[in-house]
Structure 1
Amino acid sequence: MNLKDIHSVYFIGIGGIGMSALARYFKFVGKEVAGYDRTPTPITDGLMEKGISVHFEDNVDLISDTFKHPNTLVVYTPAVPSTHSEFQFYKNQGFNLKKRSEVLGIITKDSFCLAVAGTHGKTTTTCILAHLLKECGLPLTAFLGGISEDFNSNFVLDGTEYSVVEADEFDRSFLRLTPTVACVTSMDADHLDIYGTKEELEHSFREFVGKIKPNGKLFVRKGLPLEGITFGIEDGADYCIENIEIEHGAYIFDLITPSEVIKNVKFNKPGRHNLLNGLAAFAMAVQTGCSPKRLAKALGSFKGVQRRFSYQIKEKDFVFIDDYAHHPTEISAVHQAIREMHAGERVTVIFQPHLFSRTKDFVDDFAASLSDFDEVILLDIYPAREEPIEGVTSQWLLEKIENPNKKLISKSALLEEVKNCKSGVLVALGAGDIGLEVPKIKKELSYAH
């Protein structure tokens, strides 16, 4: 497919974080762009402000004639059911339908592509990487899986020589990419509705590694069963962080590379998992030829990613944190970061489970990670693309949490519940629509603190 021959692009599921970045790209390069999504969100609002037409009803009649022309590219997300009437229309009319990952592969294949894979850490690592390359003045395009606070966007276009992308393992999407430099941050069991077993998931990661261009480079977190240049914390990896101290909520450390030691590097995002993400991005960025010392300095100015350990309220006696964590490993990482940065404080977690299948597959692990908090407020499972599974409920998860300070509430009762929160730290976790509740919680709590 030659993108030069495409005049219009229609997105089914345009409001997704990855889909909206692609929509912004095509609008920027001069294509006609429109799309459908289920509900209005700040992301769809932002697209409409850019002149992209979006509607919220699955209705072929709402698609303008511009996007019924044969040279329209139709991009869809795997989350859209095959019964979707707009999807069926385009399929039956013989249109060129592509998954988001296929289009991303086409756009980036001729660039110096830096791709970040892993079951956790992709979004933060890609946002740090884009920030580092931007600080070094490289001409890059970045498709980010979250809203970077440095760019206030999930899309960066400052040139096409370099590209930064998330290599998403969901639906085996990352097998469409051909990176020059790749990284694998983690390979924990996840998406077992797609893969069935952890072994099959790991096989897919090895397939992804096989897609790296000849003479390309692979970076892997030390301890993963892959051959590559390693990165880690205090473990003798090729790229390693040593001598960590905490000053005013920031990390200060020494950064060991294969060729030099850079002392007193600063990084402002809490959590050892975020330190690893920063290190992975740094190691990848070195491969572009940027000065390691300049890159290390740029780590200190990284602001963060929306919904990735984002401080919503940060007072002397109270903090409210928002995070996208939706897997037991991620929840434990957030817990570690809070205990390190806010030692001795009582911590209440609000958690909205994401997907019936994920809850079923990891219910005991979820219960264990949530039990570490001082108080647990649980919401109903966010179904996303799934139908309910009999017996898989938040009540089932609640009963497994070994913590007497726990309760299951409806989303409508959440604001009233948080008003009574006596903890020094409140954290909201989940990948569903809990993010839409965060501004309401922040507003409610701002009156009280």
Structure 2
Amino acid sequence: MELPDELRRAHLIGIGGAGMSGIARILLARGAEVSGSDAKDSRAFLTLRAQGARIEVGQRAENLDAFEGGPSAVIVSTAIKDTNPELAAARERGVPVLHRAQALAALMAGHRTACIAGTHGKTSTTSMLTVALQHCRLDPSFAIGGDLNESGANAHHGEGGMFVAEADESDGSFLTYTPSVAVVTNVEPDHLDHHGTAEAYVAVFAEFAKRVEPGGVLIVCADDAPAAELAARAEADGVRVRRYGRSATGEQDARVLGYTPHEDGGTVRIALAGEELDVRVAVPGEHMALNAVAALLAGLELGAPADGLAEGLAAFGGVRRRFEFKGRAADVRVYDDYAHHPTEVAAQLRAVRHAAGLGRVVVVFQPHLYSRTRTFANEFAAALGLADEVILLDVYGAREEPEPGVTGELIAERITGATVHYEPAFDRAAALAADLVKPGDLLVTMGAGDVTQLGPEILAELDRRGA
């Protein structure tokens, strides 16, 4: 696949991030010269350097000089501030600056594209579709916001003529894409730090639906009222729509007839094109089964066979940080999960409850963003109340400055139905978790920040105590 001229020598600021490292992988596979930098080392660097990328830790203007003649373009994400020295240097030199989504859109050119959007479930659905297509030997290119457990990769340059991408609505940049197949799993207000209001957040999905190319299709979950409304508006505008879920009724829809949970996943039964089909999903939770049905419909639209897609979905091994098993110690199973919105937390804890069997559910939760914590404190409390024991950490601010009075305690003091422990000292959390768990319990670390580090620490502490 021919590279656009502006991407032949690309410098990526923040190259260790999930989205940026994926773009770097694909650029390198297509023969581009790639340089980049990040504020700290990343496990992604090892692979990228082995592929030929030149990466610096620390961000300085001279990092733009990794290749003779300098970069043909500098790629940034919304998280990169105007004061970044490399971004400022690029603008001073007149080097084109592309947003991550613009670079990804350029890499999609010439492919049949499937873009997976939604407030929740887009990473899992994108991953399921990718694995299912690979099972059908179609070798799609893909870019995902998480690493597939099967390959350990978040992106790949394939030769199958199709491109599967997670479409991020957080900053509205998914409006850069023109998908052949667009999926919207659900629409629930989030990222209000960028969009401002719930109405503006919903409106950006309506614009995304208009981006579907002529002759393409929009696939939506009919069980989600805002998504169903989005589908109705898109259909009125002439966009072809396929729906899935228990509420789906059309001949081309995938109607969910039932869901049967298993210890290691579940089976969803659907009615599709006049036939009934069982789809096995190896990850727990009915919400994951719905994601699998969305992936099935998208795969069919891309020309893959239903039986091959179903077999691929049954083989799907999950995504890093999506209910990822970290280990067992002292008869306690420890998992890690990326859920960081109340709806995601509730859905995952319902699935965890079944996976725990007779054991208790213990969750170590780290709120992500001060604005989200303030806006959804009551909703987070209701979701976390589904656990038996909750350790509430302080807020992982990410790109935001602290807000007075907005801490993990804002959620902790509202939780009912579970025993709550507010622990503002991150370095004491592992020992506290080890104090609380009992044999047979299932513990999950949860959140979008550095809470993911705690799983191995908890396991090590349990092993130490056992020894």
Same fold (TM > 0.5): yes
| Aligned counterparts of 2:186 and 2:373: Cα–Cα separation in 1 | 20
Secondary structure of 1:313's match?
strand
Secondary structure of 1:214's match?
coil
Render the CA deviation track for 1:64-86: whole Å, top value 9, x for unaligned: 351762x5211001111111111
Contact 2:140/2:158 (CA < 8 Å) preserved in 1?
yes
1:88 maps onto 2:101 in alignment = no
Q: 1:441 to 1:234 in 2, by over 3 A?
A: farther
Please tell me the residue identity of whatever aligns with 1:170.
Answer: S
Render the CA deviation track for 1:27-61: whole Å, top value 9, x for unaligned: 11111111111111212333233332222212223
Please tell me the residue identity of whatever aligns with 1:176.
Answer: T
Task: Quote the residue 2:133 is aligned against.
Answer: 133
Alignment equivalent of 1:231, drawn from 234, 244, 265:
244
User: Counterparts of 1:330-369 in structure 2 under 5 Å?
Assistant: 330-369=344-383
Contact 2:330/2:463 (CA < 8 Å) preserved in 1?
no
Task: Quote the residue 1:254 is aligned against.
Answer: 269
Task: Quote the residue 1:296 is aligned against.
Answer: 310
Q: 1:34 to 1:195 in 2, by over 3 A?
A: same
Moved more, 223-232 or 322-331: 223-232
Q: 1:199 to 1:5 in 2, by over 3 A?
A: closer
Cα deviation, residue 253, structure 1: 3.6
| Aligned counterparts of 2:463 and 2:207: Cα–Cα separation in 1 | 49
Task: Quote the residue 1:187 is aligned against.
Answer: 187
The CA RMSD over aligned residues, in Å, is: 2.1
Contact 2:142/2:163 (CA < 8 Å) preserved in 1?
yes
Moved more, 419-428 or 109-118: 419-428
Where in structure 2 are there 5+ consecutive unaligned residues?
A: 232-240
Contact 1:375/1:403 (CA < 8 Å) preserved in 2?
no
Using the aligned pairs only, state the percent identity.
33
| Aligned counterparts of 1:163 and 1:259: Cα–Cα separation in 2 | 29
Cα deviation, residue 101, structure 1: 0.5
Give the paired residue count: 447
Secondary structure of 2:147's match?
strand
Contact 2:326/2:334 (CA < 8 Å) preserved in 1?
yes
Where in structure 1 are there 5+ consecutive unaligned residues?
A: none
Please tell me the residue identity of whatever aligns with 2:50.
Answer: E
User: Counterparts of 1:306-321 in structure 2 under 5 Å?
Assistant: 306-313=320-327, 317-321=331-335
Moved more, 127-136 or 47-56: 47-56
Q: 1:283 to 1:159 in 2, by over 3 A?
A: same
Task: Quote the residue 1:178 is aligned against.
Answer: 178
Please tell me the residue identity of whatever aligns with 1:432.
Answer: G
1:278 maps onto 2:292 in alignment = yes
Moved more, 46-55 or 90-99: 46-55
| Aligned counterparts of 2:13 and 2:80: Cα–Cα separation in 1 | 7
User: Counterparts of 1:42-441 in structure 2 under 5 Å?
Assistant: 42-66=43-67, 69=70, 72-159=72-159, 161-222=161-222, 223=225, 224=227, 225-227=229-231, 228-233=241-246, 236=249, 238-263=253-278, 265-313=279-327, 317-402=331-416, 405-409=419-423, 410-423=425-438, 424-441=441-458
Please tell me the residue identity of whatever aligns with 1:217.
Answer: V
| Aligned counterparts of 1:358 and 1:67: Cα–Cα separation in 2 | 44
Secondary structure of 1:170's match?
coil
Q: 1:365 to 1:290 in 2, by over 3 A?
A: same
Please tell me the residue identity of whatever aligns with 2:58.
Answer: E
Contact 2:387/2:418 (CA < 8 Å) preserved in 1?
no
Secondary structure of 2:47's match?
helix
Cα deviation, residue 444, structure 1: 3.1
Q: 1:331 to 1:404 in 2, by over 3 A?
A: closer
Contact 2:142/2:155 (CA < 8 Å) preserved in 1?
yes
Task: Quote the residue 1:12 is aligned against.
Answer: 13
| Aligned counterparts of 1:440 and 1:315: Cα–Cα separation in 2 | 11
Please tell me the residue identity of whatever aligns with 2:19.
Answer: G
Cα deviation, residue 447, structure 1: 5.1
Q: 1:243 to 1:357 in 2, by over 3 A?
A: closer
Moved more, 13-22 or 105-114: 105-114
Secondary structure of 2:12's match?
strand
| Aligned counterparts of 2:390 and 2:316: Cα–Cα separation in 1 | 31
| Aligned counterparts of 2:124 and 2:261: Cα–Cα separation in 1 | 20
Q: 1:371 to 1:171 in 2, by over 3 A?
A: same
| Aligned counterparts of 1:47 and 1:442: Cα–Cα separation in 2 | 30
TM-score by length of 1: 0.94
TM-score by length of 2: 0.91
Cα deviation, residue 19, structure 1: 0.4
| Aligned counterparts of 1:303 and 1:418: Cα–Cα separation in 2 | 27
Render the CA deviation track for 1:230-253: whole Å, top value 9, x for unaligned: 111476572133243234423134
Q: 1:289 to 1:2 in 2, by over 3 A?
A: closer
| Aligned counterparts of 1:68 and 1:90: Cα–Cα separation in 2 | 13
Contact 1:233/1:276 (CA < 8 Å) preserved in 2?
no
